[in-house]
């Protein structure tokens, strides 16, 4: 049988949500911060959008794909060329950024009324959600 092995399904919970401010802790974009724009709980991956020097939104962990223009009924004149798009990154390679701007681990604290809040382990303050 040729080709890739199927990926093992992710067994666990993700510590990040859509809209969270995170910092990449491993890989080519290590140290860069951005917000989570998409979450894939079945594979344990996330897509992160950051800012460039001009303040524009750019994908972190970006890949370049060479795309040939193939007209369809919905889009009769598509663009061809080099397309830069965001690639998913493992959620274990990102860390949530606390209210002080530094990466932190989080724990879940249950209130008296049964509500759950995410709390920074370093500062003890609640982590703001988007």
- Two structure tokens written together for 81: 């060329």
Enter the pTM of the model.
Answer: 0.80
Domain borders along the chain are 20-97
**Residue 58 burial (C-beta neighbours within 10 Å; 0-12, 13-18, 19+):** middle
Rounded CA-CA distance 17/37 in Å is 9
Q: If pLDDT is split at 50, 70 and 90, which confidence band does 6 have?
A: confident
What would the CATH number be for the domain defined by 20-97?
Answer: 2.30.30
Rounded CA-CA distance 59/85 in Å is 7
Q: What is the pLDDT of residues 38-96, one digit of tens each?
A: 999 999 999 999 988 888 888 898 999 998 888 888 888 888 899 888 999 999 999 99
9 φψ region: left (φ > 0), alpha (ψ -120 to 50), beta (else): beta
- Please list the residues that pair with 108 across neighbouring strands: 118
């Amino acid at each position: 049988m040729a080709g890739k092995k199927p990926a093992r399904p992710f067994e666990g919970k993700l510590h990040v949500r859509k809209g969270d401010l995170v910092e990449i802790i491993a890989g080519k974009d290590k140290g860069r911060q951005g917000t989570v724009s998409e979450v894939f709980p079945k594979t344990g991956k996330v897509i992160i959008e950051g800012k460039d020097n001009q303040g524009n939104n750019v994908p972190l962990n970006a890949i370049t794909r060479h795309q040939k223009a193939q007209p369809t009924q919905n889009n009769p004149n598509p663009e061809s060329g080099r397309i830069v798009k965001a690639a998913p990154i493992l959620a274990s390679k990102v860390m949530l950024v606390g209210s002080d701007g530094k990466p932190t681990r989080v724990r879940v604290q249950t209130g008296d009324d049964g509500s759950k809040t995410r709390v920074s382990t370093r500062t003890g303050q609640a982590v703001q959600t988007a």
